[in-house]
Amino acid sequence: MADLVTRYREIFGGEGTVRVVRGPGRVNLIGEHTDYNGGFVMPMALEAAVRLALVPHRGPTVALWSEQFAERAEFTLGAPEPANAPHWLRYPMKVAEVLAEAGVRLAGFKAVVQGDVPVGSGLSSSAAYEVASSLAFLLAAKPDTPAGPAQEVAAPHGLTTGKLALLCQSAEHRVGVRCGIMDQFISLHGRKGHAIVLDCRDLSFQAAPLPSDRATVVVIDSAVRRKLTSGAYNERRSQCEEGAGQMRKFDPGIKELRDVSLDLFKAHEASLSQVVRRRCRHVITEDARVLESAEALKAGDVERFGRLMNASHDSLRDDYEVSGPELDLLVTIARGVPGVLGSRLTGAGFGGCTVTLARPDAVEALRAAVRARYTKETGLEPRLWVSEAADGAAVEV
Ligand code: GLA
């Protein structure tokens, strides 16, 4: 963090206290493609995060230096989008837009943006960036705000962190992905040592302690990068909406797939097209798996949790069709290691990462197995992290 403050001085020089805000990435343990169907998810926040080191000023200019792209870009609050704005500038611009519409009086700042959430890896670098940007704007608007968790930063603006998550989500929609609420929500509500079980319909949630003495969370990056905006994600979402619409004929109370019971689905699945039927089956069974996983966690049954993770992956691969050969290979390798409890793709899919639950003493064997097989079979360099659940977004300094 001290480094980031130094970086700010190197890039922008000048006077004024440098403040630092942080928005973490996340890994989703189970509950994939359920959030935009009003269902359940179980993510945890990561230590990996996007940080902004900023100095607020009174003018309307937001000047940013991106460490990742080694590029400076700026925009003026309330003014039309500058021509040739780099893609990475669009996130804070859209966050500014939604905050202004929500009544926050914005002020400009200069900031260095730095992140260690790998982009396009399914660990929600974009949500981390939106959330960190939102805290930067709230801080710039009230520069006396002390360091503290997001709740305390949002409250003086009359905002809850739930509302802030929704605003960051709509910023992402404006960038072009019709994402659900999971990523922005967990980035704001993460808790050290805990996963959260979130009801994406009413945003009620419970923190579930992770038994780190008996199960380690390992994230493995396949090194396959896909752009979420590629349309496949939005297409899945439309197929789910179509399925929910069809099911409504049989029960007018159905708003989203969350409301469709497995029994109702089974009674009427023949009326759906092949593809929509498979998409619905994934979402409906995945919701049930999240609820069962939450119970397994409460009971300390990590084996059951692992089996549910495996079932989740198989459903994402076969019914939702968002896996790929590399993710499948990582999962196969992991499942072959004694002491691995379960393994699945995490995030939207189409490349990115897997998440594996392993007994702590199996992690080295897992690392060795991935190293021995993955590169040989794919030519790609995987990366593996043992991940602790971290706290949610905050003003750090
Ligand atoms: C992306 C989206 C989330 C969620 C996941 C899939 O991460 O941003 O809202 O839909 O994909 O579970």
Whether residue 262 is predicted with pLDDT greater than 60 in this model: the reply is yes
pTM (predicted TM-score): 0.97
Cβ(243) to ligand 1 under 6 A?
A: no
pLDDT, mean of residues 28-40: 98
pLDDT at 15 (0 to 100): 86
Task: Calculate how far, in angstroms, residue 7's C-alpha sits from the geometric centre of ligand 1.
Answer: 32
Task: Calculate how far, in angstroms, residue 1's C-alpha sits from the geometric centre of ligand 1.
Answer: 29
Q: Which atom of ligand 1 is nearest to the CA of 34?
A: 12
Each residue of 49-65: pLDDT tens digit?
999 999 999 899 999 99
E-strand stretches of the chain: 19-30, 40-56, 61-66, 71-76, 109-115, 148-149, 194-199, 205-209, 216-221, 340-346, 353-358, 383-387, 394-395
Q: At what angle do helices 274-298 and 302-318 cross, to 10 degrees?
A: 170
Cβ(347) to ligand 1 under 6 A?
A: yes
Task: Calculate how far, in angstroms, residue 119's C-alpha sits from the geometric centre of ligand 1.
Answer: 14
Each residue of 277-306: pLDDT tens digit?
999 999 999 999 999 999 999 999 999 999
DSSP three-state, residue 47: strand
Decide if domain 2-209+390-395 falls under CATH 3.30.230.10. yes
Each residue of 314-342: pLDDT tens digit?
999 999 999 999 999 999 999 999 999 99
Each residue of 66-78: pLDDT tens digit?
999 999 999 999 9
Task: Report the nearest-CA residue for atom 2 of ligand 1.
Answer: 179
Task: Calculate how far, in angstroms, residue 309's C-alpha sits from the geometric centre of ligand 1.
Answer: 16
Angle at 203 between CA 213 and CA 293, to 5 degrees: 35
Q: Which atom of ligand 1 is nearest to the CA of 180?
A: 9
Whether residue 228 is predicted with pLDDT greater than 80 in this model: the reply is no
Cβ(32) to ligand 1 under 6 A?
A: yes
Give the mean pLDDT of the chain: 96
Active-site amino acid positions: 183
pLDDT band for position 134 (cuts 50, 70, 90): very high
